[in-house]
Amino acid sequence: MLTLTSPVETPLHRLPAGAKLAGLCLATVVLFRLDSPVPLGACLAMLAVLHLALGLRFASTALRLLVPLWPFVLVIAFWHLWLGEPAAGATILLRLVTAVAAANLVTMTTRLSDMVTVIEKIAAPLRRIGLSPRSLALAIALAIRFLPVLSQRMGQISEALRARSPRRAGYRVLIPACLAALDDAEHVAEALRARGGAG
Amino acid sequence: MAGTGTITEQGITLSGASYAVAGRPILSGLTLSLTEARIGIVGRNGSGKTTLLRLMAGLVAPTEGAVRIEGADPADRKAMLRHLGILFQNPDHMILFPTVGEELAFGLRQMGESAERAAAAVDALLAAEGRAHWAKAATATLSQGQRHYLCLLSVLLMRPRTILLDEPFAGLDLPTQARLARRFATLPQRLVTISHDPAAVATADRVIWLDAGRVRADGPPADVLPAFTAEMARIGEADADADLAG
Amino acid sequence: MERTLSHVALFAALIAVLGFVPAVTLPFGVPITAQSLGIMLCGTVLGAKRGALAVLLFLLLVAVGLPLLSGGRGGLGVFAGPSVGFLIGFPVAAFVAGLVVERWTAPVALAALSGSVLGGIVVLYAFGIPGMALVLGKSIPEATGLALVYLPGDLIKCALAALVTRGIAQMRPGALLSRS
Ligand SMILES: Nc1ncnc2c1ncn2[C@@H]1O[C@H](COP(=O)(O)OP(=O)(O)OP(=O)(O)O)[C@@H](O)[C@H]1O
Ligand SMILES: [Mg+2]
């Protein structure tokens, strides 16, 4: 499965995932407290230096993860330039980009299995309302297993529709796709029971 | 790998077991006592073979009558894990995990093994099979035959005393079928093999011919299979699909 | 138990897969993706509780670093971005949509349409707009203006959710857990 964890091994990969998450929470709180462009700009600059220290390839991947923010950056930039308050606009944008980049950094340097372990730990108290960490881990594994299966099924369905109709499959894939997911769910439930259930 | 199972006298018993969906009977009044080491179940598509397997496996409860595995109710799957393993007709309905290693380890974890011991057993099994490189492989990238094989390994790893095999050779190429058949022959467990293909059960101790949810014939393969083959040929000559709804 | 788990997992995967479907661009340039349709369907098909759990599981997969949000986004970063309110609102939206279909005995298409509008638009925007306002430093009315560009697309998705839910009810009545 393709994850956002960076294949470029960095020293940050070796830090415990829990510590990185706690650090991220703290950093995000601080970022939302800072209210002017200069300290925020300093934070972003530090983060950028950290990325560069981890390698050029790593930094450019991180930069690419920020690309989806561009429509918001555009809207905010025009909005505040038009109102004549560039400092306020810069504050918002610097905070947004820094917070997102910091969170992405944790994602990029933490393996999926380590994340799942942390989640199991965080979810342990939920045992009292009947949600065992084991079934949570099982649900995560099942969903990951069926991502490629459903995706393939969706492709087959739209091919089957196109084979019998000149139009693009479009929304007509939705009902068979849902039915496929429902059928698979029944099979999975049975396969789980066959191997002793999810209890 | 050696199974721990000894073939017991009690085996699988069905007493007057029927199964119906929405009032439509799929299996009717089956009374069987299966104690042989190699049992074959044959029948046409839709004759109820898979349903019989699900009934024996405790995945569905009989609407009438009773099913017992070595004296116990198979509905408690957790308790049954040591008694009964199931190889599904479709491996895609059986594989639950993204990687081969996780898939294999799951059954052992279900039987109460620690994560470390399960992982060690999985590594040992894959090494013994000459497929150590499979551990981290994504299950979705295996071929149909490889997935089938993975499912079989995950059943064998749990060492159940009886294994139910639903069309174990379907979709496999000839060398793989031959290899699998040799593998089955060496297993110490009781095997119940379901197939529409008489050749797949020709070496069984006992063959049961299922027709429209009832036992049509029951006995050694030399008695049952010729009649079955002749009947299938006769139906094939006629308009085979006329009674598809059956 | 097994059935709840498997339905939750499969529909979490379905939401993700719907996000891979290429976006359709509305005439005025706003992309609409099938992903939030997946959120609505979780509610209208699985019902309130299972639907909300499926969406939570999906968000968990995104948070642990799988790029499953439409456009291949994922990781913790998306929870610091302008869409955070929408993400938090997703499970609530599915819950509300499911609740309407479960409790209101109207014909299933009507119940699913109303549920999707109430959950997937009213409730979802009630979470999404304040989140956007907070992250982008805007007032609520300003953020509402920004969010409204998505409204036509979301209305189309509500109609699709209703059609799909009705289709499942007709073809496989037993499978519609929200009504069984
Ligand atoms: N859940 C179900 N609901 C309704 N009908 C069912 C269900 N399961 C099985 N059937 C019906 O029961 C009959 C027997 O099905 P079953 O799967 O046991 O056949 P089979 O002998 O395994 O066939 P095949 O050789 O094709 O695998 C079929 O007519 C099928 O349509
Ligand atoms: Mg069958």
Helix axes C151-171, C108-116, angle to 10 degrees: 150
Which residues of chain C have a CB within 8 Å of the CB of A112?
Answer: 64-66
Instruction: Give B195's strand partners.
Output: B42
Q: Is residue B158 part of a domain?
A: yes
Predicted pLDDT of residue B4 = 39
Relative to beta strand C24-25, strand C31-32 is: antiparallel
Q: Which of C43, C50, C69, C49 is nearest to C58 (CA)?
A: C69
Which domain does C15 fall in, by range? 2-179
Residue C176 has pLDDT above 80, yes or no: yes
- Among A70-79, A169-178, B233-242, C117-126, the range with the most confident prediction by mean pLDDT is C117-126
Predicted pLDDT of residue B242 = 54
Q: Is residue B6 part of a domain?
A: no
Answer yes or no: are the C-beta atoms of C10 and C57 closer than 8 Å.
Answer: no
Tell me how close the Cα of A50 comes to any Cα of chain C, in angstroms: 17
C172 contacts chain A (CB < 8 A): yes
Which residues of chain C have a CB within 8 Å of the CB of A177?
Answer: 14, 17-18
Kindly provide the ipTM of the predicted complex, given to two decimals.
0.91
Query: In this complex, which chains have at least 3 CB pairs below 8 Å with chain B?
Result: A
Q: What is the CATH number of the domain that holds C60?
A: 1.10.1760.20
Which domain does B30 fall in, by range? 12-94+144-238
Determine the residue type at B23: G
Give the mean pLDDT of C113-125.
Answer: 96
Answer yes or no: are the C-beta atoms of B32 and B12 closer than 8 Å.
Answer: yes
Residues B173-198: tens digit of each pLDDT: 888 888 888 888 999 999 999 998 89
- Among B56-60, C53-57, C132-136, the range with the most confident prediction by mean pLDDT is C53-57
Query: In this complex, which chains have at least 3 CB pairs below 8 Å with chain C?
Result: A
User: How many domains does chain C fold into?
Assistant: 1
> For chain A, which residues score pLDDT lower than 70?
1-2, 168-169, 199
B85 lines ligand 1 (CB under 6 A): no
**27-56 in A: which are within 8 Å (CB) of C?**
28
**Sole residue written with tokens 């925007």:** C125
Residue to substitute in B51, B88, B195, B228 for testing ligand 1 pocket (most ligand atoms within 8 angstroms of CB): B51
Predicted pLDDT of residue A73 = 87
B45 lines ligand 1 (CB under 6 A): yes
Residues B6-31: tens digit of each pLDDT: 455 688 999 999 999 988 999 999 99
Which residues of chain A have a CB within 8 Å of the CB of C67?
Answer: 2-4
Residue B2 has pLDDT above 50, yes or no: no
Per DSSP (E only), the strands in B22-91 are 24-34, 38-43, 64-69, 84-87
- CA distance linking residue B207 with residue B199, whole number of Å: 11
Predicted pLDDT of residue C77 = 86
Report residue C78 as tokens.
């998306």
Residues B105-121: tens digit of each pLDDT: 998 988 888 889 999 99
Tell me how close the Cα of A8 comes to any Cα of chain B, in angstroms: 19
Predicted pLDDT of residue C161 = 95
Q: Is residue B127 part of a domain?
A: no
Residue B3 has pLDDT above 50, yes or no: no
Predicted pLDDT of residue B240 = 53
Predicted pLDDT of residue C88 = 96
Instruction: Give B246's strand partners.
Output: none
User: How many domains does chain B fold into?
Assistant: 1
CB neighbours of residue B177 within 10 Å:
17
Please name the residue whose Cα sits nearest to atom 18 of ligand 1.
B48
- CA distance linking residue C110 with residue A71, whole number of Å: 35
Distances (CA, A) of C35 to A159, B42, C14, C19, C80: 21, 46, 9, 5, 20
At C128, the pLDDT band (50, 70, 90 cuts) reads very high
Domain boundaries defined on chain A: 11-110, 124-194
Query: Contact A193/B138, CB-based, under 8 Å?
Result: no
Q: Where are the alpha helices (DSSP H) in chain C?
A: 2-20, 35-46, 48-63, 84-103, 108-116, 124-136, 140-147, 151-171
Give the mean pLDDT of B65-94.
Answer: 87
Predicted pLDDT of residue A166 = 72
Predicted pLDDT of residue B241 = 57
Query: Contact B98/A187, CB-based, under 8 Å?
Result: no
Predicted structure pTM score: 0.85
- CA distance linking residue A17 with residue C76, whole number of Å: 13
C84 contacts chain A (CB < 8 A): no
Predicted pLDDT of residue A196 = 83
Percent of chain C with pLDDT over 90: 62
At B1, the pLDDT band (50, 70, 90 cuts) reads very low
Report residue A21 as tokens.
């998450």
